[in-house]
Structure 1
């Protein structure tokens, strides 16, 4: 493994050396020392080691280790590590050679682990003495793949009993989603520092990404010692090895799951899919074409995309509702919940989902229950419609079930081309105007009478009036409007008008 002169400098501070020259030339480019004596020779990939008088003044682009004072012009074009003039040359030379051996052994152990297909955890354990701080790796679903040097002040992880692994807590995930600095870190390719604003300590991290695919993140917490400049390069080296390991043994989604997702995505996108491939995908997933199901849609935001929270959310939802097919579509998370397989009603589903939505800062639209998965597109649209409608009418709610918004949906559809006043019975406007002019209560009386199925006793109790008073009001209403309330369609039209007027606040 090649290292930089900064790695040597930061490991030899007890000798009180000075690092001089342009840091831009201090790269991980050196595999050992070349001891310069009387005659100078240029050996590529080696750090030059010797007394001040053996280095020609015209040297450029070199890394030099020496003692005492060197000509100033050497520092202009080279990187210099200068030890005090009275330092023990032999002891320093041997210590540097040991440092080269140490990092070379680390690199070789990582390569052996890679060839032997050892775990991420094993590779982190090999790196504890190098980075000397808590190290951990999480995958794209924010599940912990490995951790070492754990510290009591380190942010916690929740144990997922079902998958028997630790995952990031929802509280921390929400902090990330709302933090602009963290969102920005998702687009950074090299090693970088995440500030201490959330956890109280800094995190040196690198995204594990290749060809546009984000596998997760390697992190080092600044808890046992302060970060060094060389940690950036060492983290990059470790992350490259981990990335190769992840690419070799990455756990892909089950083919059965992927096939059903693709079938559902085609249904949602186009509304059409031949029944044979759909039935095959359902059968491979263990579902039947006649199973009952419903569709739920969670609307995500840009912050969810930037922090890769969508994959994390899908995983959490699947843990909660295993008899579901869950996937992302555009800016939404779609759940197809099989109630036949899971023995779960919509009411039970919403009760379980409510806390998750509130804690995860999501809202959801939920369709009615149905059969025949070839009609999934209709139930998906139903979930979208109720999400949009519910968000307008009840913005403080976290979820909206279509069954609770059927009438408001019908009202919204009915007034797309005609204003609401043209869809309401004119007799109701007449009664309301009469009430305003004569201080009567005929408008409300008729509504309650209809809602009580024209039951005189129930209506008078609801209005808290005497039976004879109610009968008088009904006679006056009939005289004013000329309506025959024995006609079912008329009663339906009147109630529809009442509810539409209420919905539109007319």
Structure 2
């Protein structure tokens, strides 16, 4: 895990000879390492040498934490293009600093592990807030867009001492508080903010708060609030709120707190996948909810998950991760697989490359994907769901090492399998092939192969003779013999198509044996 410099310096603030008022916000660092001449001077570096810090070997983002007496002349200064150097005060050892830093990383990594486990076991929102509250030292809450409190951390009741009217989970904010918010121009300005923001104290809110908004696509759903109580809000709390929001958006979307229009879109999708015909008004409502159009081009994808995903119940997590990563899609869970409906018109207008980003998502998650043919409108969604499932089944059977499979690559195999479901392939094949096989067996000829190559070459006699290594006259003799034995008319397209499919069916049956 990588942490902002502000929280790293704060963890050893007691022992620093000088601390900057505001640390660099855009750089993040992993666990510290001791300086070695043979390794690049990158990241967070611990240095105990008595000579001047070799900053000429450092990159612009490196941070040097130096023992007492190492580099007093450079302590706390930003060295242009060569990183930052900070000096420990006398009496503070490098061992002390190293211990403080590793404890800091331990706490944050433990919080991240706990939060990830909460996602897997579908923990209630309150547990997420409780874990974040332990890390930050401040109470948190989640309020939906109807001003109802849907989750609280345990420190919430303490806010009553600061003058805040405390409400329980499920209750709405007091009327006088909402009246203040609705007339506050700042409150309206932050409604669509995607990044964490500070909201100052006022007559309805006795303490300053740090907030992040939760969204489903472009729809505002709820607000996470951290109260400046018990401990001040620090720069790294912005980073914590960003990380927390990533998890809460996934959990929030999977719960019952989604706005009605979002749940409605999911219900419409499930009904379509069930093969139900929606009313025209319902289809139009679905398009309107997602900002889609009937004439847009769509594709349906079925993701085959691993046994570990099923055992750990991570399908729902990845469903909402997909909708967050690719906001031009809708997802559902069906038959222990993830179904994804893509609006390709919206995808082509989005930044980046969907195909590349989605391929990376599949590989990292160890998924397999089956794609339907492209289509317009969502009326026949259940048919395209079956197409994607067929692509996944046939593609995985033919080559399990390939990650993505397309229906049009396997439609012919499916067609041939269906053609021999009730009647064995030998009896489904054209009678001409049986006649030629029997003649070849008795006379040691190659009429069966000759006809096949002739049809594969689209009745091009010159190319067929070349591929068979025979004279053109020999080929014409063989074709005449084939016509006499089978009465096959080379002008009848439907019959030739049947013969060609019969060759393919015979090959498949031979491979199975």
Residues 257, 325 of structure 1: 8 Å contact kept: no
Instruction: State the shift of 1:470 in Å.
Output: 1.2
Say whether 1:420 aligns with 2:425: yes
Partner of 2:155: none
Cα offsets for 1:27-46 (capped at 9, x unmatched): xxxxxxxxxxxxxxxxxxxx
Partners in 2 of 1:359 and 1:403 — Cα distance? 25
Query: Which secondary structure does the structure 2 equivalent of 1:405 belong to?
Result: helix
- Structure 1 pair 432/332, CA: closer, same or farther in 2 (3 Å)? same
Say whether 1:151 aligns with 2:31: yes
Partner of 2:84: none
Q: Which moved more, 1:203-212 or 1:294-303?
A: 203-212
- Structure 1 pair 390/149, CA: closer, same or farther in 2 (3 Å)? closer
RMSD (Å) for aligned C-alpha atoms: 4.3
Partner of 2:416: 411
Structure 2 unpaired stretches of 5+? 12-27, 34-42, 44-105, 143-150, 153-223, 225-247
TM-score when normalising by structure 1: 0.51
Partner of 2:279: 274
Which residues in structure 2 correspond to 1:196-345 (within 5 Å)?
206=114, 213=123, 238=134, 245=141, 247-248=151-152, 249=224, 251=249, 252-253=252-253, 255=259, 256-307=261-312, 309-314=314-319, 317-318=322-323, 321-343=326-348
Instruction: State the shift of 1:469 in Å.
Output: 1.9
Residues 294, 338 of structure 1: 8 Å contact kept: yes
Residues 373, 406 of structure 2: 8 Å contact kept: yes
Residues 209, 243 of structure 1: 8 Å contact kept: no
Partners in 1 of 2:354 and 2:443 — Cα distance? 51
- Structure 1 pair 206/388, CA: closer, same or farther in 2 (3 Å)? same
Partner of 1:135: none
- Structure 1 pair 370/476, CA: closer, same or farther in 2 (3 Å)? same
Residues 209, 215 of structure 1: 8 Å contact kept: no
Query: Which secondary structure does the structure 1 equivalent of 2:31 belong to?
Result: coil
Whose relative contact order is higher, 1 or 2, with alpha carbons under 8 Å and at least 6 apart?
A: 1
Residues 465, 475 of structure 2: 8 Å contact kept: yes
Cα offsets for 1:189-246 (capped at 9, x unmatched): xxxxxxxxxx9xx958646759964559879xxxxxxxxxxxxxx9799389999646
Partner of 2:215: none
Instruction: State the shift of 1:264 in Å.
Output: 0.8
Instruction: State the shift of 1:374 in Å.
Output: 1.5
- Structure 1 pair 400/237, CA: closer, same or farther in 2 (3 Å)? closer
Partners in 1 of 2:441 and 2:137 — Cα distance? 81
Instruction: State the shift of 1:312 in Å.
Output: 4.8
- Structure 1 pair 268/434, CA: closer, same or farther in 2 (3 Å)? same
Partners in 2 of 1:239 and 1:306 — Cα distance? 30
Q: How many residues are treated as equivalent by the alignment? A: 307
- Structure 1 pair 417/350, CA: closer, same or farther in 2 (3 Å)? farther
The structure number with the bigger radius of gyration is 1
Query: Which secondary structure does the structure 2 equivalent of 1:408 belong to?
Result: helix
Instruction: State the shift of 1:407 in Å.
Output: 1.0
Cα offsets for 1:342-369 (capped at 9, x unmatched): 238xxx8666544443332111111111
Partners in 2 of 1:212 and 1:395 — Cα distance? 31
Partner of 1:496: 501
Query: Which secondary structure does the structure 1 equivalent of 2:510 belong to?
Result: coil
Residues 329, 342 of structure 2: 8 Å contact kept: yes
Partners in 2 of 1:411 and 1:338 — Cα distance? 31
Say whether 1:364 aligns with 2:369: yes
Partners in 2 of 1:215 and 1:261 — Cα distance? 21
Partner of 1:384: 389
TM-score when normalising by structure 2: 0.51
Residues 347, 354 of structure 2: 8 Å contact kept: no
Q: Which moved more, 1:403-412 or 1:299-308?
A: 299-308
Residues 275, 380 of structure 2: 8 Å contact kept: no
Partners in 2 of 1:240 and 1:212 — Cα distance? 23
Partner of 2:230: none
Say whether 1:401 aligns with 2:406: yes
Partner of 2:492: 487
Partners in 1 of 2:287 and 2:463 — Cα distance? 51
